Amino acid sequence: MTENQPSPEWEKLAAKLEQPREEGPLSPEEAAYFDIRDAAEGWQEIATLDTTAAWQEVAARIEHTHRKRYSINWFRVAAAAVVTGLIAGGAVFLLKPPHQKPTTNVVAQAAGNNQQIQLITGSGATVVLDSATQLKEADGTSIAASNTSASYQSVQTTNTPVFNTLVVPRGHTYKVVLADGTRVWLNADSRLRFPVAFSGDTREVELQGEACFETTPMAAKPFLVKVGDVKVTVLGTEFNINAYTNKTLTTLVSGKVKVDAGALARELSPGQQAVYGQGNMTVAHVDAEQFTAWKEGLLIFDNESLGDIMTRLGREYDYTVNFENMSLQQLRLGGNLEKSPSVAQVLTLLEQMADIHFVIDQPKRTIMVKQHK
């Protein structure tokens, strides 16, 4: 397919937008088209738009732009690109003219992930957080929890520390507000162990998996996060820790943190990332947004391998991923899109980017990655 030429779909879109908004039910595409038209400045000029020139301008800008942050809705972006010719950047594969290609196959419909978010209390009891729940710990701490978040209110009636553990399974995310006001977003397949009330000279928690922290400043009581052999010391800041593999990635958004791994210790400035693994630590400048966007419901890939991308999607949607040809794991892709409730929608977008095809088996919760033929 020639990417610099508009397809018949664009011509259809231009014609559609010349007409008044239709009464009655609209398809998702039609609704998106009319929303764009209504919101666009100077939409009255659409009828005289040179769609060929508009598409060529979009394609030229894509060619010379690496990436720009967008929260992407495919139909809105595609339509806006043709109608106004003003979109520059974004994920290249999302701004291609649509073309007919086999969409992601879903083998069978089935119920989704049955794993649930759990809270292990100080007594060792396990509480499933699937609805509004009010709890009280032995030290008097009140806990207000739901299936999406929990908040702690401490009265600290005893000096004996009480610990809770949040367990977030694959396919879920969760937010918790600790007793000091610190906000923590836990990604899929993660655990956080923490005291329900902070006493002593430090505020210390333990993490497995991935979490983004926005800590409450307390100069006299630093916030500590333990991740295996790594300890991150914080004084009021926002940062992300990813410890899914044998490497621990600490990414600083704002403030300052100290990453300590025995004899190795480094202080980070905003926009820096420390990577520790196998006894070594490196620090590099990164785009911090790429590593924290998950908590805002965004999926950002910057020249990542398809293998790494599918590992992440498998974890966040709770699927086991298999490759028909292992060489497909080495494909490098880049994109920026909203996280859809359905993995099939995300995979359909990825198919627009490379010659790949996905087959989803929902009862077995597996995804097969194939070469598109």
Distance of CA 324 to the CA centre of its chain: 26
Whether residue 118 contacts residue 126, with contact meaning beta carbons closer than 8 Å, is answered with: yes
206 has pLDDT over 70: yes
- 332-338 and 320-323 as β-strands: parallel, antiparallel, unpaired? unpaired
Lowest mean pLDDT among 53-67, 125-139, 198-212: 53-67
- 356-361 and 133-136 as β-strands: parallel, antiparallel, unpaired? unpaired
- Which band of pLDDT confidence, cut at 50, 70 and 90, is reported for residue 33? low
Q: Which domains does the chain have, with CATH numbers?
A: 8-95 (no CATH), 131-291 (2.60.120.1440), 297-371 (3.55.50.30)
27 has pLDDT over 90: no
Res 34: pLDDT: 58
Region for residue 161 given its phi and psi (left: phi exceeds 0; alpha: psi -120 to 50; beta: otherwise) = beta
- Which band of pLDDT confidence, cut at 50, 70 and 90, is reported for residue 25? low
Report if pTM > 0.85: no
Res 373: pLDDT: 73
- Which band of pLDDT confidence, cut at 50, 70 and 90, is reported for residue 225? very high
DSSP result, 136-164: E-TTS-EEEE-SSEEEEE-----SS--EE
35 has pLDDT over 50: yes
- Which band of pLDDT confidence, cut at 50, 70 and 90, is reported for residue 36? low
56 or 149, greater pLDDT: 149
Question: pLDDT for 263-289, tens place per residue?
Answer: 899 999 999 999 999 999 999 999 999
> Edge-to-edge strand order for the sheet containing 105-106?
105-106, 356-361, 366-371, 320-323
* CA–CA distance, 340 with 349 (Å, rounded to integer): 11
- Which band of pLDDT confidence, cut at 50, 70 and 90, is reported for residue 83? very low
Q: Per-residue pLDDT averaged across 294-310, rounded?
A: 93
The helix (run of H) or strand (run of E) holding residue 344 is: helix 343-351
Q: Per-residue pLDDT averaged across 256-266, rounded?
A: 94
- Which band of pLDDT confidence, cut at 50, 70 and 90, is reported for residue 228? very high
DSSP result, 25-94: ---HHHHHHHHHHHHSTTGGGGGG--HHHHHHHHHHHHHH---------HHHHHHHHHHH-----S-GGG
